[in-house]
């Protein structure tokens, strides 16, 4: 099946790298030739299985441990990977020379080419080739789709390679297997985005977990069968009430969709914030708001009412949206014909959606125009009150308004539009700057206070996010600087909001801290999917190790009291005890051993114990203390073993085994002693310990020296 890939890889490589080489200076032909032969050799190398495997295994031996921040869903890296520890004494000596503090960055590794690291993550050890199917599936778990315009070059390159391999049977362009060099050349044009994805540097780092929660909410909403279809026009009345689609697009273009996300529906009132945005972009807020207000009307969306200045209350209700349409006709593009204005507006919507589906439903348009007594009444009422700009042709304006309501789209496209709003006017998938951020700020402000008809006040209170609903069952939700969400389900509540869409928004915000005011201090105990899973742990480690390295016993005590796991180790397997010992902070060493009962002999990745550190840096008093502690500890553990022979309970066995915490930094801390130890401890007995008081006291004598 894999036949042909490597033989042609040299050619592939030449094709794909032709651009780079064209740039190479003509003064270096020899070097160029060398490179080429080298590449060809390597490609050939890839063809001879044994040699390749040898090469891979040698490379692996030489290879530094993988980057800490390169995490892939199923291949998470621990903070400390003992398997990557060099074993020889020379290695140890070299590394010891090079390292200084444990949080020293692994520069060489960081400099390692991201393409190589990715290859190593996914390549098969047997074949030495990477399955692009697996790789793309991995990319998808980060939220990046194959259809994303930002990976277009990658997908095109895959097709080219597949073609060069004569459409190798048994695999498609997207499932072919590539050798290292070909893979690197294929992904190179999009490597920045791809590396960002696998390094979990997107706004939702753990997209897979987030999506699981979203799926749960989706399913709960699906069972809600309340609400009624809009029936003022037949096209809306014919919707399937079971339709339920949900699409998400983050500001980094991470996508997730489920349900009826490709079923087309008309924009209806969801077009209102978009036409308002175009008017703001072109005319500025001063001009626009000299015609339309910013207040919630407190009345129905199509009520025949103006504010006290004889202006429509806001651009999100029908009167305000008709007025916005008049601004487009009379002020934004006064010279355009109606047809041109339609195209012009549609092109804005398309840009916002990153080129995804925006169409037009003529039947809905004709029906809207037929059933528009109230909207016409609003138009005439506003004309009577001189609301429109000069030169307004009311008939054209009304048609334009109906056209905007009748533009057709689907959940997928609308989620990108919502994400463009969340992203300050820049479309996340195309990276095109569509609107100025000031415009988006104004649009979101109005959506926040007026976006869900007469429910707007409650929505702002409960959900605390800008949103816009439409009579066709759409709900556009914007989480500024995070993501856009579009929910679509036709049954509406008595105020005209989609029932399932509304439930989704409310449940979303009760699970995640997305409400505008969830970020107030001391308030939220909800999930924050923006946080990296390791963020909190990483910070704790930094704080803990820093306190130990600087000899700050008070800080250590504070960490202990707050229940922190004092045995935590950093990526190099270095614990607080290592740092306190290497810096000669005897008080800290004593505190860690006597009060926190951390293991005295954890090994770091170079196999060093805290006592080795103290010795290396000439802290004899610390060395002495640690040695005598170790002797006592060994003695106690011997006693424990002997006793265990005569009278063992299961709990005893577990305890004895935890006293041998020799290497693992992740091993659980020894339980805190309780009373009767003869030692006064400033630490409350149960701080940070899960062991019961009884069992802890019964074992302490056996496991801890000096207790
Ligand atoms: N076409 C509808 C109307 O003007 C749009 C209103 C809505 O979605 N609420 O009545």
pLDDT at position 198: 93
When mean pLDDT is compared across 43-47, 267-271, 508-512, 521-525, the lowest value belongs to 43-47
When pLDDT is cut at 50, 70 and 90, the band that residue 90 belongs to is: low
Rounded to 5°, angle at Cα 291 from 290 and 297: 110
When mean pLDDT is compared across 38-42, 173-177, 183-187, 530-534, the lowest value belongs to 38-42
What is the per-residue pLDDT across 485-503, written as a single tens digit (0 to 9) for each?
A: 999 999 999 999 999 999 9
Instruction: State in Å: Cα 555 to ligand 1 middle.
Output: 61
pLDDT at position 285: 98
| Ligand 1 closest atom vs CA 401 | 4
Residues 343-360, mean pLDDT to the nearest whole number: 98
Cβ atoms of 602 and 575 closer than 8 Å: yes
Residues 170-178, mean pLDDT to the nearest whole number: 90
- Provide the pairing of β-strand 359-360 with 467-469: unpaired
When mean pLDDT is compared across 132-136, 190-194, 643-647, the lowest value belongs to 643-647
Instruction: State in Å: Cα 200 to ligand 1 middle.
Output: 41
375 CB within 6 A, ligand 1? yes
275 CB within 6 A, ligand 1? no
Name which residue leads in pLDDT, 203 or 63.
Answer: 203
Instruction: State in Å: Cα 186 to ligand 1 middle.
Output: 48
CA–CA dist 351, 431 (Å, integer) = 10
Instruction: State in Å: Cα 375 to ligand 1 middle.
Output: 9
pLDDT at position 558: 76
Res. 522: pLDDT tops 70: no
Name which residue leads in pLDDT, 147 or 652.
Answer: 147
When mean pLDDT is compared across 101-105, 380-384, 685-689, the lowest value belongs to 685-689
What is the per-residue pLDDT across 425-440, written as a single tens digit (0 to 9) for each?
A: 999 999 999 999 999 9
Res. 100: pLDDT tops 60: no
Res. 607: pLDDT tops 90: yes
Angle of the 693-703 helix axis to the 620-646 helix axis, nearest 10: 110
| Ligand 1 closest atom vs CA 406 | 1
Cβ atoms of 665 and 537 closer than 8 Å: no
Res. 274: pLDDT tops 50: yes
Instruction: State in Å: Cα 267 to ligand 1 middle.
Output: 9
When pLDDT is cut at 50, 70 and 90, the band that residue 523 belongs to is: low
CA–CA dist 487, 409 (Å, integer) = 12
Return the residue whose CA atom lies nearest to atom 6 of ligand 1. Answer: 269
Return the residue whose CA atom lies nearest to atom 2 of ligand 1. Answer: 268
Residue recorded with tokens 């308030």: 523
When pLDDT is cut at 50, 70 and 90, the band that residue 33 belongs to is: very low
| Ligand 1 closest atom vs CA 368 | 1
Query: DSSP letters of 155-215?
Result: HHHHHHHHHHTTT-TT--TTT-EE-HHHHHHHHGGGHHHHHHHHTT-SSSSSHHHHHHHHH
Res. 97: pLDDT tops 60: no
- Neighbour-count burial for 359-380, b at 16+ CB within 10 Å, e otherwise: ebbeebbebbbeebeebeebbe
Tell me which residue of 265, 276, 12 sits closest to 158, measured CA to CA.
Answer: 12
Res. 37: pLDDT tops 60: no
452 CB within 6 A, ligand 1? no
Share of the chain above pLDDT 70, in %: 72
Does the predicted TM-score (pTM) go above 0.85? no
Cβ atoms of 235 and 229 closer than 8 Å: no
Residues 189-215, mean pLDDT to the nearest whole number: 95
Query: DSSP letters of 78-131?
Result: PS--GGG---SHHHHHHHHHH--STT---HHHHHS-HHHHHHHHHB-TTT--EE
Per-chain mean pLDDT for the chain: 80
Res. 5: pLDDT tops 60: no
When pLDDT is cut at 50, 70 and 90, the band that residue 399 belongs to is: very high
pLDDT at position 165: 87
Instruction: State in Å: Cα 401 to ligand 1 middle.
Output: 10
pLDDT at position 533: 60
Res. 96: pLDDT tops 70: no
Instruction: State in Å: Cα 598 to ligand 1 middle.
Output: 67
Cβ atoms of 468 and 451 closer than 8 Å: yes
- Measure CA of the first residue to CA of the last residue in the chain; give whole Å: 66
pLDDT at position 634: 84
What is the per-residue pLDDT across 275-318, written as a single tens digit (0 to 9) for each?
A: 999 999 999 999 999 999 999 988 888 888 899 999 999 999 99
pLDDT at position 543: 80
Residue 569: what are its φ and ψ, rounded to 5°?
-125, 155
Residues 6+ apart with CB under 8 A from 149: 354, 355, 429, 430
When pLDDT is cut at 50, 70 and 90, the band that residue 143 belongs to is: very high
What is the per-residue pLDDT across 499-521, written as a single tens digit (0 to 9) for each?
A: 999 999 999 999 999 999 987 65
318 CB within 6 A, ligand 1? yes
When pLDDT is cut at 50, 70 and 90, the band that residue 646 belongs to is: very low
When pLDDT is cut at 50, 70 and 90, the band that residue 539 belongs to is: low
Instruction: State in Å: Cα 406 to ligand 1 middle.
Output: 10
Please tell me whether residue 467 adopts helix, strand or coil conformation. strand
When pLDDT is cut at 50, 70 and 90, the band that residue 660 belongs to is: very low
| Ligand 1 closest atom vs CA 270 | 8
Tell me which residue of 531, 656, 537, 543 sits closest to 80, measured CA to CA.
Answer: 537
Supply 317's token pair.
């209700």
Instruction: State in Å: Cα 498 to ligand 1 middle.
Output: 13
> Which domains, from first to last, does the chain contain?
72-88+95-198 (1.10.238.210), 215-511 (3.40.710.10), 535-632 (1.25.40.20)
pLDDT at position 40: 44
Residue recorded with tokens 């707007």: 456
Res. 674: pLDDT tops 60: no
Instruction: State in Å: Cα 400 to ligand 1 middle.
Output: 13
Res. 247: pLDDT tops 50: yes
Res. 342: pLDDT tops 50: yes
Res. 42: pLDDT tops 60: no
Highest mean pLDDT among 215-224, 587-596, 670-679: 215-224
473 CB within 6 A, ligand 1? no
Res. 626: pLDDT tops 80: yes
496 CB within 6 A, ligand 1? yes
Tell me which residue of 373, 379, 277, 395 sits closest to 328, measured CA to CA.
Answer: 277
Cβ atoms of 468 and 301 closer than 8 Å: no
When pLDDT is cut at 50, 70 and 90, the band that residue 622 belongs to is: very high
Cβ atoms of 408 and 360 closer than 8 Å: yes
What is the per-residue pLDDT across 146-173, written as a single tens digit (0 to 9) for each?
A: 999 999 999 999 999 999 988 877 789 9
pLDDT at position 641: 56
185 CB within 6 A, ligand 1? no
CA–CA dist 23, 379 (Å, integer) = 63
Query: Would you give the distance in Å from CA 254 to the centre of its chain?
Result: 8
């Amino acid at each position: 099946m894999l036949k042909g890939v490597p033989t042609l890889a040299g050619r592939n490589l030449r094709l794909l790298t032709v651009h780079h080489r064209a740039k190479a200076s003509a003064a270096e032909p020899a070097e160029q030739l060398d490179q080429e032969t080298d590449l060809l050799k390597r490609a050939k190398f890839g063809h001879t299985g044994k040699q390749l495997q040898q090469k891979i295994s040698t490379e692996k031996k030489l290879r530094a441990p993988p980057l800490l921040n390169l995490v892939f869903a199923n291949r998470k890296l621990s903070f400390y990977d003992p398997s990557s520890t060099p074993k020889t004494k020379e290695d140890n000596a070299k590394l010891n020379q090079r390292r200084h503090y444990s949080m020293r960055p692994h520069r060489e590794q960081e400099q390692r080419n991201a393409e190589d690291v990715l290859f190593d993550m996914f390549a098969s050890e047997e074949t030495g080739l990477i399955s692009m199917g697996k790789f793309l599936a991995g990319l998808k778990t980060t939220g990046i789709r194959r259809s994303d315009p930002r990976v277009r070059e990658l997908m095109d390159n895959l097709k080219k390679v597949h073609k060069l391999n004569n459409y190798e049977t048994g695999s498609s362009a997207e499932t072919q297997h590539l050798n290292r060099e070909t893979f690197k050349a294929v992904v190179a044009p999009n490597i920045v985005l791809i590396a960002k994805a696998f390094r979990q540097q997107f706004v939702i780092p753990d997209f897979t977990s987030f999506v699981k929660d979203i799926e749960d909410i989706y399913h709960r909403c699906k069972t809600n069968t309340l609400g009624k279809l809009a029936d003022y026009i037949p096209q809306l009345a014919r919707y399937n009430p079971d339709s339920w689609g949900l699409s998400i697009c983050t500001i980094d273009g991470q996508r997730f969709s489920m349900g009826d996300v490709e079923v087309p529906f008309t924009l209806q009132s969801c077009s209102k914030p978009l036409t308002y945005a175009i008017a703001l972009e072109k005319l500025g807020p001063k001009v626009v708001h000299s015609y339309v207000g910013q207040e919630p009307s407190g009345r129905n969306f199509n009520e025949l009412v103006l504010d006290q200045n004889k202006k429509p209350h806001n651009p999100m209700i029908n009167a305000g949206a008709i007025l916005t349409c008049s601004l487009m006709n009379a002020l934004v593009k006064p010279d355009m014909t109606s047809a041109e204005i339609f195209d012009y507006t549609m092109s804005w919507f398309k840009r916002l959606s990153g080129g995804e589906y925006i169409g037009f439903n003529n039947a809905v348009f004709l029906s809207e125009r037929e059933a528009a007594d109230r909207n016409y009444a609003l138009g005439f009422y506003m004309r009577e009150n001189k609301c429109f700009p000069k030169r307004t042709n009311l008939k054209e304006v009304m048609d334009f308004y109906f056209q905007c309501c009748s533009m057709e789209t689907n959940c997928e496209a609308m989620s990108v539009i919502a994400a463009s709003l969340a992203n300050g006017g820049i479309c996340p998938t195309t990276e095109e700057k569509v609107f100025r951020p000031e415009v988006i700020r104004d649009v979101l402000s109005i959506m926040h206070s007026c976006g869900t008809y007469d429910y707007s006040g409650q929505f702002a209170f409960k959900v605390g996010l800008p949103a816009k609903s439409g009579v066709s069952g759409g709900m556009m939700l914007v989480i500024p600087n995070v993501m856009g969400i579009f929910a679509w389900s036709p049954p509406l509540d008595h105020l005209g909001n989609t029932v399932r869409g509304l439930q989704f928004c409310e449940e979303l915000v009760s699970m995640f801290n997305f409400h505008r005011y969830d970020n107030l201090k001391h308030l939220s105990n909800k999930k924050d999917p923006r946080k990296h899973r390791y963020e909190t742990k990483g910070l704790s480690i930094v704080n803990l190790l820093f306190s130990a390295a600087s000899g700050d016993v008070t800080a250590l005590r504070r960490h202990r009291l707050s229940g922190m796991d004092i045995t935590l180790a950093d990526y190099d397997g270095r614990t607080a005890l290592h740092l306190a010992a290497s810096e000669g902070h005897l008080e800290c060493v004593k505190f860690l051993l006597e009060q926190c009962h951390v293991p005295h002999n954890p090994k770091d990745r170079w196999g060093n114990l805290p006592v080795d550190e103290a010795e290396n840096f000439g802290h004899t008093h610390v060395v002495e203390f640690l040695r005598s502690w170790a002797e006592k500890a060994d003695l106690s553990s011997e006693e424990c073993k002997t006793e265990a022979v005569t009278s063992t309970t299961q709990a005893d066995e577990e305890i004895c085994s935890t006293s041998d915490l020799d290497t693992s930094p992740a091993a659980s801390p020894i339980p805190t002693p309780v009373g009767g130890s003869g030692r006064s401890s400033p630490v409350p007995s149960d701080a940070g310990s899960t062991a019961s008081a009884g069992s802890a006291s019964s074992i302490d004598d056996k496991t801890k020296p000096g207790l």
